[in-house]
Structure 1
Amino acid sequence: MNRYENYFCDDIHRIEYIYENTKDDAAKFLRSPEDFIDFASDAFTDPAKRENATAEFERLMMSPRQLFWDFWKDFRTLAADAEYRDDRFLREQLRSKVLIRLSNAVQTEW
């Protein structure tokens, strides 16, 4: 503990400090600093991230007053989280989610 004196040069030193000071039952789970990183990332990530993103992506529709760039950001983020990678599928989804909004706007104007 004394060699770090509450100062860490970088993240590697910080991880080593935590790893070296892990004792008793907690030490059984951590055999290396990489195990600690894996354990922490598993504990703080959403295990159903893909499923939740898929459900949100299916519900996503552009609202009448929403800026396209805000919608586009949500569309791309949810598509990435849901692990949709097929360009044709994404183009069709974008068309259906945006054109409904545009067709409704045209009908009310005409």
Structure 2
Amino acid sequence: MKEYTDLLKDDNEYAIKAEKFSSKIKDITEFFFEKNIKLKYKDLKENITYHDACHLVHGQEIYDQPRELLKNFCKSNFIEMNYSTFCCGSAGIYNILRQKDSQVFLDKKMQNIAQTNADIVVTG
């Protein structure tokens, strides 16, 4: 939905409508981050890492917001994963249509997760 502005930029009828609509679309982490919303929480003891979902990090360029929110909950227990923005191989139905290729991506992602020794993997 955020891409409507770009997709419809040459459409005389919908370009302005698309821009207005797309400007209203926010991921929840983006919304909380922009509005400086602080949640009540208990201090988490588990080690946490974050997997960047492709639709967020590549499609919507959301990177810092989820991390900042997570760091509010687990401060020193947040472990940044190596290559966190690399694809996990799922991509909608990619893992069904290209199972072998998908498994290569997933294996790399799982290795990176394992290296963090995280108790919880959070994703968007």
Task: Specify if TM > 0.5.
Answer: no
TM-score by length of 2: 0.26
Larger radius of gyration: 1
TM-score by length of 1: 0.28
Q: Which of the pair has the greater relative contact order for Cα pairs under 8 Å at 6+ separation?
A: 2
